[in-house]
Structure 1
Amino acid sequence: MRISETILAGFLFTLGCQSVAWAQEASGQSRGLLPPRPIPGIALPEPEDGAVGEPAPLAGGRAIAAPPSGPAAHTALPLAPFTSARDALKAWMRDSSAGDQVGAVRALEFAASRGHLAAQFKLGRVYASGDGVPVNDLKAFEYFSKIADENADQIPGTSDARIVASAFVALGGYFLDGIKGTYVKPNADRAFDMFHYAASYFGDPDGQYNLGRLYMNGTGAQRDPRQAARWMKLAAEKGHAPARAVFGDLLLRGGDGVPRHPILGLMWLALAREGADETREGWIVERYDAAFAAASAADRTAALALVERQQVAGRGARR
């Protein structure tokens, strides 16, 4: 089994001769990425409803945004007289560095209105997090919806595809919880659609992790621990720390059709602990500490040897 230790941290897109990196938020901050509940728990079945890289149809078609009769989310800021989206993005970088949040958002609004995908995604993140602006989940939802509606057929593996996949994941979180006081109501079936499309067509680890959670909890789909383990494994192999922790826990405990394999379970927990953000993902540290304290000395030694072997292999692959 080949294991990647790199966690997808952001999206890189080119602006003329200048590169701009916008880091994707850690999974512990995303909606729907809550610490998993304790679960019971290696040959795992392939997902029955679509393979990674194949388009997964969305229930009811691909339209995601609200119907035209739905309430408007906001009044857009006046668009500054930029000459192009590239010019606006240069202004965004300048104003962001200078601490001018109003100017930075106005510049992003202009670039987004010209169809700039990364600007649309950044605005969704800005309004979802309240980064220099009041939190506006409905406005964020509508930006993510526009991205998903217009770009669902992006070729997987490209930088644009990673942006679109993250928009689908964000929409899945909104559909799980709904947005109070708006037309966006909790809808587990639609949440499943969003996570499944990101997970299966784009192979996105956040989508795979969230889809695994839905299968574990029986939310939006029939409860299926074996399917959950399969999706967790796919995300874990891409370096997704929460998925590594959950998959490791599944292998430690076994049951519900998932074979028990304590050494591999400890290995995945150790890899998860290594990549975890202790501030936002303290539950991973706690789970790792508890599992290693309860394990036999022989199992701990064997698991750590596997971790070291993966680390050596990873360093060799990067050369």
Structure 2
Amino acid sequence: MGQQTNNGFGLTKLRVAAGLMLVAGVAVLSSGQTWAQAQLPPGFYSFAPSKQELPVGQLSSQAQADLNAALVAYRAKDFSASLPYLDLPSSEGSIQANWLLAHMFRKGLGVSADQVTAFKHYNRVAEDYVDSRSEVSGNERYFVLDSLTRMANYLRTGHKKAGVRKNVSKALHYYQTAASAGHAGAQYGFGLMYLNGEGVARDRSYGMRWLGTAAQKRYAPAAALLGDIYNESGDKVRALVWYKIAADTAGASLNRRIVKKTNAVVSEISQKKLGEANNLYTRWSSRFPVRTRQAQN
């Protein structure tokens, strides 16, 4: 059936959310369990950090002053001015300084992109955290979880420019650590490894469950992949719902792909099915609204 102008799907910028089947407004797994009823495998939290405090007075006064100056320049988007101030706090083990250096070298902010240096600084954060098993909170918690996830991304496939060899067991370890602490990108990567059977026995339903968890946090790549899975299985209604969810927070490149796939699905189904998809999307979105934009690249 041709695309309808009032169906809510044929938009340049779509609005969509993550892949769950909804029954009376309750998220349900393919097995019939709700998310709350589903059990994690034994030892799932084996990599969770113990409850310890970071050392008081971790940075010298000069290192703290440099970090403050770096943050002022960074927030003003003067990245080249920010970089020199990060050297001392980084050398003293500042989580934030090392994450900022990793991020800036990975993205080429104020400096030529250098994946080797980016990996080195992500590794400092990740390895120090895993070795010390320190408890962190606030912004530092985000920096640690994101570093673990970035490390897993490098290790899962290997990264030639960073000089990193593929190590799926370590990637799985890092994804699991960050996923169990709630990082959406790690939950996506962890689910993907189970979907594909990378370093673990392939478990499609368990992998999809983690994609759904990431999608609840409005992590667009997870929702888009769920859309692809349902689309390929022939469930066009749920495919549309997931594409619509993904487009709510997708970046420009991913959104272009979602628009193309959504329009193709819309052309294949009836107006009644489009209405069902719209209703499911509305109900899902009311339960999992967009609150903060996830870092999705």
2:276 paired with 1:298: no
- Retained in 2: the 8 A contact 1:179–1:185? yes
- Alpha-carbon distance between aligned partners in 2 of 1:136 and 1:203, rounded to the nearest angstrom: 28
Distance in 1 between residues matched to 2:196 and 2:182, nearest whole Å: 21
1:226-241 equivalences in 2 (<5 Å)? 226-241=205-220
Q: Which residue of 2 aligns with 1:265?
A: 239
For structure 2, the residue ranges without an aligned partner over 5 or more in a row are: 1-14, 18-29, 50-59, 293-297
Match of 1:216 in 2: 195
Mapping 1:120-269, distance limit 5 Å: 120-152=98-130, 153-155=133-135, 158-180=138-160, 184-200=164-180, 202-254=181-233, 262-269=236-243
Supply the distance in 1 between the matched residues of 2:290 and 2:106 (Cα, whole angstroms): 39
Distance 1:283 1:135 in 2: 26
Q: Does 1:48 align with 2:41?
A: yes
Residue matched to 2:21: none
1:172-194 deviation line (CA, Å, top 9, x unaligned) = 12113434387631222222222
Q: How does 1:65-144 map to 2 (within 5 A)?
A: 83-96=61-74, 97=76, 99=78, 101=80, 103-144=81-122
With over 3 angstroms needed to count, the CA separation of the structure-2 counterparts of 1:120 and 1:214, relative to structure 1, is same
Q: How many pairs does the alignment contain?
A: 247
Q: Which has the higher contact order (CA 8 A, sep 6+)?
A: 2
What do residues 67-86 of structure 1 show as CA deviations (whole Å, max 9, x unaligned)? xxxxxxxxxxxxxxx94333
Question: Per-residue displacement from partner, 1:152-188 (whole Å, max 9, x unpaired)?
Answer: 3355874322211111111112113434387631222
Normalised by the length of structure 1, the TM-score is 0.66
CA separation of 1:204/1:316 partners in 2, compared to 1, >3 Å: closer, same or farther? closer
Conserved 8 A contact 1:263-1:302: yes
- Residue 47 of structure 1 and its aligned partner are, at CA, apart by 4.6
Q: Which amino acid aligns with 1:128?
A: R
CA distance in 2, matches of 1:181, 1:270: 35
Q: Secondary structure at the match of 2:83?
A: helix
Q: TM-score, with normalisation over the residues of structure 2?
A: 0.70
Which deviates more, 225-234 or 179-188?
A: 179-188
CA contact (8 A) 1:176 1:188 kept: yes
